[in-house]
Structures are given as structure tokens and as C-alpha cells.
Chains A and B, each alone.
Chain A
Amino acid sequence: MSKCTILRSAAAIALFAGSSVFAQPEGYMSNDDLASRLNQIATNDHASLSSIGTSLGGAPLHLLSLSEGEGERPAILIVAGIDAEYLVGTEVATRIAEELLEHHSSMLKDMTVYIVPRANPDGAARNMGKILSGHSGNARLVDEDRDRMLDEDHADDLNGDGIITMMRRLEPTLNETPSHLADPDDPRLNVKPDKSEGQRAVFTLYTEGLDNDGDGQINEDGFGAVDINMNFMHRWPEHDPHAGRYALSEPEAYALARFVLDHDDIVAAVTIGKHDNLINQPDAKKKDITSRSPLEIDAGDADLYKEAGAWFKDAVAFASAEKHDSAGSFHAWLYAQRGLPSFAVHAWARPDESESKGDREDKPAPKPEQADDEPQLTPSPVGDISMETLEELREAYTQMTGEEPDETMISQITPEMVEQFAAQLGIEVRRVKEQESPAAEMPESDKNKSNKKKLSEDAKWLKYFEEAGIEGFVDWQPLEHPTLGKVEIGGFIPGAKINPPASLLDELAEKHTDFVTRVIEAQADIEVLGPEIEEIGGGLYEVHIVLQNNGELSTTTSFSRTTRSVKPVIVRLSVPVDQVIRGQRVDRVWGIEGNGGRSAHTWLFRTVDINNETITIDDPRFGKQVIKLSGN
């Protein structure tokens, strides 16, 4: 029943004992390297190293805590390495710790910084072995083709170069329809035929490997794992084989969730990895299936993400970022259910897509309408997939199965699933371009040649690899395959589009540190104004206090006032409740807006001696203070 053969990459066992030139990305830290570097960092007085748990494979999930001095204070959480292939995130997160300690240690007096640099060490290890295969997920074994045999058909390094790439089957048999051809502009690339140009598909594509279990499929059940970023509660994609048996079934996801649930001091989080919600602003209109939680964010928090998005662009100068469905991800849960500002960022973007501030100002505003020659596409609830594509899929499904897909299926479908189905059915996925997304803008280099065909993403990568002298691509080489006959093996090296050369890491980390320090600087800062006490006579008093937020950001997200998952500040008056005429004896503050936002509290009460009365402000993040009232 495996439908997704060619789409699933998988781990590999070498058939040839060829020595590998690429294997472990050069200059990147293995789990051991990371442990020693973190130990080194922890020699600093303001850093301590511990762990939040253990991976399925038994590796520690390291936690660096940075803070200076004693006392309660809020904290920022930085998490990287959830997505196994995104090794660069760990490199950057580790260096952020070093940067903060070296250059910004004064900030650590007011803010704790928690860093989990590699939340999925087992997954990372699988991307650093002898064979580079591109592997997401953890060490949980999944019978991906559900044939009651586990991981029996993995990828195989047929040409012995230590890398799992792609195979072009040059002479497909008659029961297999060719799907791709070599790009006439650059024959190294595979493209789908453009019928308007009279193109014709000539080969089919597979990942490099054999039909190890003789079921006619290639690599359909390799090292299948659970994707940690699909194992959290918000929009958990229940029946996806990579989502885990239940939300938080995976020890890595559980440890992260537990850490957050146990730490009321966390006021914001930055997740560095596969997901992005700052370059691509999150959707602030749509609701999830219950209609009581936002799909991505609540409208009340749109400004927060816009502001943080601007800080991030200023810091890193990325022009665009790939957007992935956030169903079941860590960062989506942090926002939608924990109510925290949760920023997801890529560690790196291809330089040609980066831009300086000056460039951006020169650019024309994005066109409000799509180009005339492109048909207008209708947005759908499924990411950026168009309604038109969903309709095509629905028809194809109905044809195939003889029944209409039900609404539940449609409501649970993710863009990744659409891509897989569409690939099997040979349907082109047409996407709605986000008007505000810089990704929709025309790249700088193409501005003057708008009549000429745009470079495809893959072509841009090849161009970049050549210019930067990076070995990111394996040229196609012929090989006789035992079941597919004549094939060519080659293509992009797994991870090459994700993890930049190690020489870039220090600079990248500096940029990310700029963003992190900006987030820290903007945090809420509460000042208590008052008390003002007015004696009315007869033992009656009116008392006012105001909690004022002098920071830029609100103390909590707007949506957390709905989730009530961030503990409120509790303001308590000592006067017995039956002597309070106005005001709540126990009052709760769910959030105070930034830039001078206030929470005002007034009580009118009777007391024998005002000097015995107090107001207690108990803030789970900033600590407790007791204000003694006194008469004139």
C-alpha cells in the first residue's frame, strides 16, 4: 500500500564500502562535539548545563541556562534541532549562547535564557553518519508501508559515494508513465513537462536504492521515524504515520512540553529549524477545525508577529523562507495552547534571496493583482494550496475510489499530503501566492529580464553552489539497476540546501543573536504605581494602584487571555472580604499591553487600622512584592 515511494527519503546501509567525501557535514558538531562545546560554555559563571530528558535512543537532551545574579525573572526559551536535517539550527543556537555570554551578559540580569540546542539528537546522528541520506524524525521505528515488516526496504547507496541521491529510470516499462525530463536549460535538473512548450516526459524518478523486500516498491519502508515537529497537540495530524501514536508519544516531544509546562517563567520562545512564522507572517484570520482556536495566530496578536518579523528581517536580512504546514509542531503548540509568543525561524537562507535594507526600499511594492497570464486561484484552508488543485484531487479521488471524499478528509489534509497525492496522480499542485509574502516578489536578478523565464528554485541552488564553491550536487552517472534497468544516479546532496558551509556559521549566529537580544530588550517591564490612599472617614478608605508595563511587548499574547494557560498576576488585598465595598479582594491580571499599558486596581474598604493592611502582587514571572498601606 505504499504510495509515497519516491517521496520518502530514507536511511541507508552501504552496499559498497566506498569511502565518503561528504558524509558528516564538515565543521558541524556531532553529538559528542556538541556535548564538549556545551561543557566548555558551562565553565562560564553565568551558564549551567543540565538536561530536560533523554531521547528514545538514550542521548541527553541538553539544556543550557544562562542567567546572572539571583532572584526571579522571566525567561526566553530557544530550541533548535527538532528537525533532524536542520543541523545548522544547533550550530547557531550554541553560538547564540556564546555570543550572549561574551557580549550581552548584562542582559542576563533581567532575563534568563534557556537554550535546548539539539532537541532530537538521534535524528541529528542519522544525518551525520557514513551515508548521508537526509533523514527527518527521531529513532522510533515506523512500518511505513504497513506490511507487518519493519524498515525492510531502505535506501541503498548504489554508487558508493556515501550519499543517497535520486535515480532517473531511463527506460521505464510500459506500465509506468514517465513523469519528468531533463530541464532543457540545465540538463542536471528534473522538470515536469511543459505541454505548452511541446515537452515530453522521458524518465521516472526514485530515491537511490533497491527493492530490498521484493514487493515491487523501492525504498518504501526505510528508517521511518516520528517527526517530533508533528507530535504536539495543536492540530495534531492524528493518522499521519509520522505524527506518532498520540500527541507527545515521543520522549523528545514530551521532554520539551514538560519543560515548558513546568516553567512559568518563560515569556517567549524562538524555535530555529524547518518552520518559519516571521518571514512568512502567520495567518491571523483562519480558525482550526474546532473554530475556537486559531489555525496559526489570533488576530489580536498580528501586530506582535509583524513587529518581531521586522526585527528578524533587520537582523538576518533573509528575503524569503519556505513555509511548511505547522500541524503538530512545537512552535504552533507554544502559541495556540500555551499562549506564548512563539517565533519560528530558519537558521539560514540562500544568499541570493537575502537582501540588505537598502535593496528592499528600492523594490516596487508587491503587485496587488496576480499577473494577467496566470489564472486567478482561489485560496483554500489547506496552506497555500489552491481550491482548484483540491478540486482536481477530489475528482481524481472520486474516480479512483468511486466515492466522494468526505469533509473530514478534506479538513484534515495538509499541504504535504496534497503534494504526495498530487505526485502520485500526476496532478500539478497550483498554489495561491501570498500577496504580502516577499517570496512572491520577483527576485532581484530577474527584474530586468521579465520576459525571460524565471530561474527555478533548483536552478538558483545550482547557481549558488557553483558561485560559492559548494559541493551541493552530484552529477548524474549511469548505472545498471537490478530491477529498474538503465538508471542515472545523481542530484542534490541531502541537507545541502539546508545547512550552509561551516564557515558561515559564526556570522549567522551573530545575526540571530541580534534578533534574540532585540526580543529580550522588548520584553514587558512592570512598574507598580501608587498606592494612592484616600481616607473617607469612619474607617473607610479608597486605594488605587496601577501596574504599568514600560516594555515594548505585552506581558502575554492576546490569545493567552482566552487559553488562560499563562498564569495571571494575582493582586490580593489583606482586608477581609466582608469589609470590602468596592473591588475584588483577590484580583487576577491576565495581561498588560506594552508601551505604557496599565492594569488599574481600586478598592474601597473599611478597616480599623490602615497601617495593618497590605496589597500583595504575586507575579509568577517577576516574583512577589508586598505593599504596606499607611495612613497620613
Chain B
Amino acid sequence: MKKYTIKNSIVRLAGMAFVLGASTSAAIAQQQIPSKVDIAWNRFYDFDESEKIIKDLVKAYPELLTLRSLGKSEQGRDMWMVILNNPETGEDTEKPAMYIDGNVHGNEIQATETVLYSIWYLTKSYGEVDQLTELIDRTAFYFVPSINPDGRAEWFANPNTPHSARTGQRPTDNDYDGELDEDGYEDLDGDGHITQMWKFDPNGRWRRNKLDPRIIERVPEGEQGELTRLGSEGIDNDGDGRINEDGPGGYDMNRNWASDWQPNHVQYGAGDHPFDRPETKAVADFILTRPNIAAGQSYHNTGGMLLRGPGASYLENLYPRSDRQMYDKLGEAGEDLLPFYNYWVIHSDLYTVHGGFVNWLAEGLGIASFTNELWTNRRIMPDPDREFSDEERMHWQDRMLFGQTFTDYTEYDHPQHGKVLIGGGTKYSSRVTPPFMLEEGCHRNFAFTMFHASSMPELQFKWAGIKDMGDGLWELTVEVENTQIIPTRLAIASRNKIGFPDLLTLSGAEVLLSGQVDDRFDQTMRPIKDRPERMLIEDGIAGKSFSTFRFLIRGDEGKMIRLKYEADKARDIEMRIPLRERDADIN
């Protein structure tokens, strides 16, 4: 085994820093560590800009970062992945790893900045911030800042609503007329946003608010209205009498994953089969090569939530109690770090999702996974616990955002509907974090995700006892400890036979029997007689816990034996001890 200690690498790195003359004084280091790449975190980056940031970071921190394209999107953009790993402490595949992505829905843009911020903060902290340095030395990270590059590019490049460009950009026949993407939105008033259209109609059931005409409100029973809602800005491009019924794309890549995938008539946007989009296929192909991924996070917007599976009520019991308890520990920690965020279960607290990404990670691959829904409008209000009226909301929009996310209503002569009003919230309203609050949002979510990452299993031999049973027979009892919250094998994995059981191997002496025991004082066990030197441990080692194993061995006193504990989602550990009476902790 490659001997590895955190201290060693810190010392080595500190040494390097000294040699390079790049040491920073303690006063500056305290939360003001400079990065080699200056990035403003009070703004958003379109796909090309985010690509440049990724490349700049990888260039600036080659000792930690590796860039890799997982494949090409529908429109040929690279699916960039940044692997963060310190090769001095081993290959990424030897360590528990956390997979982090964002922006599967093209319009949920700040997810990408949150991933970029995480890479930026970790790289500048290495060797400077002990906690993060230790974390980097014992784990690896796989970052995919945007897994829907086309959706991101489209959202920035063209007029959109807050909700459009959620899809990927494969042309799709959404209205079954044999034509692809033939009737999308139009920015009729040329303000750069797709807002709402209202038709003047004396029989309409809506009217403009007298005090604030930017608010369109329902008309009370018995009063005269003036407006009828037409929907988003656009015209009937294909002459079928409908507006905007078949815009770009028109599917949902977060319903395209393999666990509980269901066809379109059950789950809108699912695609023809799991991974039938190049983006999801590229990500899945990579993830399937990394059984060491022990934690997963997929950033979305909006609403302020830390979500876990299952996505459908009939899968509720697929999550065994011990796993739910683990999720609770992580989720509750997240609620502390993220004010006004709720730790919720997707199907019961939000809505039903079939074929979602974190569901595949958790249910298909046994990875402890969350989806964070970034940003909640409550963050901008003085009293986030109270529901606000439209007037009050507009007031805060004005005073805080200076009205920047709202386009005033203007009249427009529409080819199908005659005189209409066009206006309303821009694409930056409602779902996107106000830029001045972006950095805080990135940091708080980063902090939660680092807590999640630091909870990935870490093993150590805790204690070993050897008894001389006479005539060359020895009883070896060993305690293997997992010092972190996430078990080496989630219960969902051991129950459903996902991945491989852990493996404890003894070599260097003849093993007659072996087995797991309740504790070191346990006299009896249900021994494995066949191939007892290879003990398969389906349940793994629980979080913040240890398990006890026993071997009956034949060998000469003093002979060195070797114990090795292997787990998919933890770093393997190994030790050598001589066959000699002992009863002591392992240090």
C-alpha cells in the first residue's frame, strides 16, 4: 500500500510554498486567500465564458486539476469535467470521490457558478486552509459545471423566459405535426426578454392594478375587466392557430436517467430510453467507470431546497431506515448552513420525478446524493417567514434591484391578436439569484457540499487482539472503523446487491475459519469455512461505527500476517502485524 498521511503532504506543500517564496502572511490568509485566477462572483457567465474560467483554473492549478471532455453535446459543445485530485496522495480512483454537477436544466444558470466557485475555492485553499487541505488529500472531486451546455448557451444568447431553455437543444416535434421546433417564442418588443402578453378584452377577467400598473390582478366577481392572458411573447409561426407550441428542444434531461425511468406518457420529457441524449450518456458513461464515487450533488434552481430521493411514492421503502438516518444527518446540517432552505424528499415534499439524476445515483448506484435547488426569493425579503403581497414584492424589487428584473408593459400590434400588452418579469427574475447575493449563495452551498464530501467513508484498523490458542492455532480479532457519516455501503446497496461487497483478506498464514462477530468479547460466530481468507462483507461498515472480524489462523509465532480491507467507496486500508499475543489499539 502506498503509505499516505495528511501531515506529510501538508509539510511537503508548505515546503514548496516556501521555496517558491509564495507564502502568505497569516493575516492575509485568513479568509482572504488569493486565487491564481481572479473571478468575480457577483455576475454570471455564459457557456463560452464559463469554459474559459474552467480552462484558466486548470492551467493555474495543474498539480490539482485535470481537464477532460466527457463528450459533445447535441450541438457539439464540450461536456467539460474538472477532476480535482492530489496525485501525491494517490490516484483519484483509489479515494472516495464526490461528483458535483449543475445546470442540467439550461435556464438554471447559477448552478454552474456554484460549481465553478467550488473549484476556485478549493484550489486556492489547498495548503492554506487545513480543513480543506485534509479533505483534498483524502478524497477526489469530479466537477461538471454544466451538463447542458446547449441549454446554457441558448439561455444567455437569446431572449428567454425564466423557465425556457430548460431543455437540451435537440430539435423535437412537441406538437406532433411532423415539424421540428417550428413555433418558438419571439421577442416582439425587442427588449431582449420573453415576457408575458395580454390582450385587450372588455370581457377579460384581469386588469392592471391602479396603484402599480405593473401588477396585473384578477378582477373581483361583478367588476369590469380589461385583459385576457395570452401567454408568453410570440406569434403563430406555423399557422396552426397556436402560439409557441413547439419551441427549441422540448424535453427534460433530468428525467432521462436509468433508475425508475418511465416513458413520456408517464413522465413528460423522458426521451425514448434512458441516456438517449448525448449529454446524459456522456455523464453516465463516466460515472459508471468510477465506483469510488461515494457522494453526489446536482445543483438546480429554484426554491431553496436540499432534495433527496425517492422520486416516486412507490419507491419510499427502497430507502432503508439506516440510509434515511444518514440523509437526515446530512440534510439537517445543510439546513443549518443554508438559511431558508428546506431538506425535503422529492416525491412527498415536492413532486413525482421518474428517471431523475440523483435518483439514479442513489438508487441505481448506491451513492449518497442530494439536489440543491439554489436561491429562494425569501432571501431578499425583510421578513422571510411571512408571505408577501405582489405590491410589497414589487416594492422590494424596486428598492433593492432598482426594477432591473422587470420590463414595463408596452403596447404592441400582434399579427394574430391585434393590440396587446407585452411586459413582466425578465428571464433574470424569480429563479436567478440577484448578482449581489450570488457569492453568498455559492459559498453556503459549497460549505454544505464540503460537509457532505467530508462525510464520505474513511476506514482505519482500530484495534486488534491476538490470542495464542496453543499448538500453532491463533485467534485474531480486529476492529475496522469508519470515522465518517456515510457507510462504506449504503443499505440500499447491500439490500439490492449494488456494487461489490467489501472484502477483508488475510494473507501470510493459513486461515482455518473466519467470520464477523458482534464485538471483541463475543465468544461465538457463524464461521465461513470455505475460502475463509477472503471475507465478503455485504453490509460494509456503517457510518461513525466499527465492525469486528475474527480469524482462526495456523502459523508460527512471530510470522507477519497482512490484513487488507477493500471497499468500493472508501480508501483501502492494509496493515501487517506479527502473530503474537496482543490486545491493543492500532495507531
What 1/0 flags go to A179-222 for Cβ under 8 Å of B?
Answer: 00000000000000000000000000000000101111100000
- Contact (Cβ within 8 A) A588 B314: no
Chain A residues, CB < 8 A from B236: 577
Q: Which residues between 165 and 197 of chain B lie within 8 Å of chain A, taking CB atoms?
A: 176-178
Q: Which one of B223-231, B391-399, B495-503 is at the interface?
A: B495-503
CA–CA, A620 to B173, complex, Å? 14
- Contact (Cβ within 8 A) A216 B530: yes
A217, A248, A293, A578: the one within 8 Å of B266 (CB): A293
- Contact (Cβ within 8 A) A246 B262: no
- Contact (Cβ within 8 A) B497 A146: yes
- Contact (Cβ within 8 A) A578 B416: yes
Chain A residues, CB < 8 A from B530: 211, 214-217
- Contact (Cβ within 8 A) A215 B497: no
Q: Is B259 an interface residue (CB 8 A)?
A: yes
A143, A245, A585: the one within 8 Å of B239 (CB): A585
Chain A residue, CB-CB nearest to B310: A408
Q: Is B561 an interface residue (CB 8 A)?
A: no
CA–CA, A597 to B538, complex, Å? 59
- Contact (Cβ within 8 A) B500 A563: no
- Contact (Cβ within 8 A) A216 B529: yes
- Contact (Cβ within 8 A) B497 A241: yes
Chain A residue, CB-CB nearest to B529: A216
Q: Is A567 an interface residue (CB 8 A)?
A: yes
Chain A residue, CB-CB nearest to B496: A239
Q: Which residues between 234 and 285 of chain B lie within 8 Å of chain A, taking CB atoms?
A: 236, 238-241, 258-266, 272-275, 284
What 1/0 flags go to A231-264 for Cβ under 8 Å of B?
Answer: 0011010110100011110000000010001000
A143, A146, A247, A406: the one within 8 Å of B261 (CB): A247
- Contact (Cβ within 8 A) A411 B314: yes
Chain B residues, CB < 8 A from A565: 263-265
Size category, B interface: 35 or more
Contact status of A585 and B284, CB under 8 A, knowing A233-B263, A293-B266, A408-B316? no
- Contact (Cβ within 8 A) B241 A257: no
Q: Is A562 an interface residue (CB 8 A)?
A: yes
- Contact (Cβ within 8 A) A146 B501: yes
- Contact (Cβ within 8 A) A239 B264: no
Chain B residues, CB < 8 A from A143: 500
Q: Is A570 an interface residue (CB 8 A)?
A: yes
CA–CA, A217 to B284, complex, Å? 34
Q: Is B534 an interface residue (CB 8 A)?
A: yes
CA–CA, A236 to B274, complex, Å? 11
Q: Total A-B residue pairs with C-beta atoms closer than 8 Å?
A: 120
CA–CA, A257 to B274, complex, Å? 12
- Contact (Cβ within 8 A) B503 A247: no
CA–CA, A245 to B289, complex, Å? 12
Chain A residues, CB < 8 A from B238: 586
Chain A residue, CB-CB nearest to B284: A246
Chain B residues, CB < 8 A from A585: 239-241
CA–CA, A240 to B350, complex, Å? 30
- Contact (Cβ within 8 A) A407 B265: no
Chain B residues, CB < 8 A from A290: 262, 266, 312, 314, 354
Chain A residues, CB < 8 A from B275: 246, 248
What 1/0 flags go to B489-507 for Cβ under 8 Å of A?
Answer: 0000000111011010000
State how many angstroms separate the Cβ of B502 from the closest Cβ of chain A. 10
- Contact (Cβ within 8 A) B258 A564: no
- Contact (Cβ within 8 A) A588 B538: no
- Contact (Cβ within 8 A) B503 A148: yes
Chain A residue, CB-CB nearest to B173: A567
Q: Is A357 an interface residue (CB 8 A)?
A: no
- Contact (Cβ within 8 A) A248 B273: yes
Q: Is A300 an interface residue (CB 8 A)?
A: no
- Contact (Cβ within 8 A) B261 A586: no
What 1/0 flags go to A336-352 for Cβ under 8 Å of B?
Answer: 11000000000000000
Q: Is A289 an interface residue (CB 8 A)?
A: yes
Q: Which residues between 361 and 418 of chain A lie within 8 Å of chain B, taking CB atoms?
A: 406-409, 411
Chain B residue, CB-CB nearest to A233: B273
CA–CA, A409 to B177, complex, Å? 42
- Contact (Cβ within 8 A) B265 A564: yes
Q: Is B531 an interface residue (CB 8 A)?
A: yes
- Contact (Cβ within 8 A) A213 B531: yes
Chain B residue, CB-CB nearest to A239: B496
- Contact (Cβ within 8 A) A408 B241: no
Q: Is A174 an interface residue (CB 8 A)?
A: no
- Contact (Cβ within 8 A) A238 B176: no
Contact status of A257 and B273, CB under 8 A, knowing A147-B536, A411-B314, A568-B176? yes
Chain B residues, CB < 8 A from A336: 263
- Contact (Cβ within 8 A) A586 B240: yes
Chain B residues, CB < 8 A from A261: 272
State how many angstroms separate the Cβ of A151 from the closest Cβ of chain B. 15
Chain B residue, CB-CB nearest to A570: B178
State how many angstroms separate the Cβ of A178 from the closest Cβ of chain B. 20
Chain A residues, CB < 8 A from B273: 233, 247-248, 257
Q: Is A504 an interface residue (CB 8 A)?
A: no
State how many angstroms separate the Cβ of A588 from the closest Cβ of chain B. 6
- Contact (Cβ within 8 A) B266 A1: no
Chain A residues, CB < 8 A from B496: 238-239
Q: Is A576 an interface residue (CB 8 A)?
A: yes
- Contact (Cβ within 8 A) B258 A246: yes
CA–CA, A146 to B534, complex, Å? 13
CA–CA, A247 to B240, complex, Å? 37
Q: Is B315 an interface residue (CB 8 A)?
A: yes
- Contact (Cβ within 8 A) A148 B500: yes
State how many angstroms separate the Cβ of A273 from the closest Cβ of chain B. 21
Q: Is A542 an interface residue (CB 8 A)?
A: no
Q: Which residues between 308 and 360 of chain B lie within 8 Å of chain A, taking CB atoms?
A: 312, 314-318, 354
- Contact (Cβ within 8 A) B264 A408: no
Q: Is A449 an interface residue (CB 8 A)?
A: no
Most buried by A among B263, B266, B354: B263
Chain B residue, CB-CB nearest to A143: B500
Q: Which residues between 555 and 579 of chain A lie within 8 Å of chain B, taking CB atoms?
A: 562-565, 567-568, 570, 576-578
Contact status of A408 and B314, CB under 8 A, knowing A213-B531, A247-B274, A248-B274? yes
Chain A residues, CB < 8 A from B316: 408
State how many angstroms separate the Cβ of B396 from the closest Cβ of chain A. 42
Q: Is B364 an interface residue (CB 8 A)?
A: yes
- Contact (Cβ within 8 A) A289 B314: yes
Q: Is B288 an interface residue (CB 8 A)?
A: yes
CA–CA, A613 to B307, complex, Å? 56
- Contact (Cβ within 8 A) B500 A562: no
Pairs A–B under 8 Å by Cβ, sample size 26: A143-B500, A146-B497, A148-B566, A211-B530, A213-B531, A215-B530, A215-B531, A216-B531, A217-B530, A238-B260, A246-B274, A246-B364, A247-B258, A247-B261, A247-B274, A290-B312, A290-B314, A292-B265, A406-B317, A407-B317, A411-B314, A564-B176, A565-B265, A570-B176, A584-B241, A586-B177
A216-B529, A292-B266, A578-B416 given; name 10 further pairs at CB < 8 Å.
A1-B536, A147-B501, A233-B261, A248-B274, A257-B273, A408-B315, A565-B263, A577-B240, A585-B241, A586-B241
Pick the 6 closest A-B CB pairs, nearest first. Answer: A216-B530, A406-B317, A246-B258, A239-B496, A586-B240, A337-B263
